[in-house]
Amino acid sequence: MRHITLPRRTPTRRTPTRRALAKHRPRPRTWSRVDRHRSALRISDVVLVLLGLALLGALCLGAAVTLLGRALAP
C-alpha cells in the first residue's frame, strides 16, 4: 500500500505582515519606557516578598520539628 503524501507548503513571509500590523495597532508601552518611580511598590514585589517569608517560615517550622523530635526521642 502506498502512502499518500501531501505537497509541501511554500514558506510564507510573515515579517511584512507583522510589520503592517504593527503600523495600525499601537504597541503597549514596555517597562523600560514607562515613567514610574523606582521607589514605587508593585504588587509583584509584595507577592514575591510574601512567598519568600512563607518559604522561610516553612523552613523554620521544619527545623523546629526536627529538633524537637531529636530532643524528645528516647
Spatial distance between the Cα atoms of 60 and 66, rounded to a whole number of angstroms: 10
Spatial distance between the Cα atoms of 1 and 54, rounded to a whole number of angstroms: 63
> Does residue 12 carry a pLDDT above 70?
no
Residue keyed to cell 511584512: 16
Q: How confident is the model at residue 4 (pLDDT cuts 50, 70, 90)?
A: confident
Grid cell of 54 as nine digits: 512563607
* Burial grade of 21 (CB within 10 A; 0-12, 13-18, 19 or more): exposed
Q: What is the mean pLDDT of residues 22-33?
A: 66
The residue among 38 and 61 whose pLDDT is bigger is 61
Spatial distance between the Cα atoms of 28 and 22, rounded to a whole number of angstroms: 11
- pLDDT of res. 9: 72
Mean pLDDT taken over the chain: 80
Q: What is the pLDDT of residues 44-55, one digit of tens each?
A: 999 999 999 999
